[in-house]
Amino acid sequence: MLVRRLPDAAVLDFHRLSSHILMDAGELGSRHMTVTWIEVPPGTEQELHSHEEAEQVYIVVRGAAALSAAGDTEELEPGDLALIPPATDHVVANPGTEDLALVSVQSPAVSVEETIGRQSAATVGYDGDDDEY
């Protein structure tokens, strides 16, 4: 059994969102999935994006999420799971007043750094300067 603890995971911060890379493509001997712990502050959302080859599961751990996929929006709360098929435009937003924490699993494995490099986050009033927060 291989274990990676959340405090030991690499973290990629981008425009107030934090992705803790629990298992990236090819890590810990896994060839088929990527797992991240994502923290989203209130009022923050990802840009609309898709993963051409990978399906993605989101599981809400804490807070409230608004997940939009293929033009449909669902409100999610802790314990809820949503499956996003490959090549489906989607976005996760935090409409609540507390931090949102969720787990993301992608299969087949997709490099988290490559994915984040292609997307950014949009925040109401965000001016591109992270020092302003």
With a cut of 50, say whether residue 125 has pLDDT above it. Answer: no
With a cut of 80, say whether residue 62 has pLDDT above it. Answer: yes
Contact status, residue 40 vs residue 96, Cβ threshold 8 Å: no
With a cut of 90, say whether residue 35 has pLDDT above it. Answer: yes
Q: In terms of pTM, does the model score above 0.85? A: no
Q: Which residues contact 71 (CB under 8 A, 6 or more apart)?
A: none
- Residue 100's pLDDT is 98
> To the nearest whole percent, how much of the chain has pLDDT over 90?
59
Q: Return the structure tokens found at 17.
A: 């969102």
Burial class from Cβ neighbours inside 10 Å (0-12, 13-18, 19+) for residue 25 reads buried
Q: Which domains does the chain have, with CATH numbers?
A: 6-118 (2.60.120.10)
Calpha distance 68→122 (Å, rounded): 14
Q: Return the structure tokens found at 65.
A: 């999420």
The residue type found at 69 is A
Calpha distance 108→52 (Å, rounded): 11
Task: Kindly report, residue by residue over 74-111, the tens digit of the pLDDT.
Answer: 999 999 999 999 999 999 999 999 999 999 999 998 77
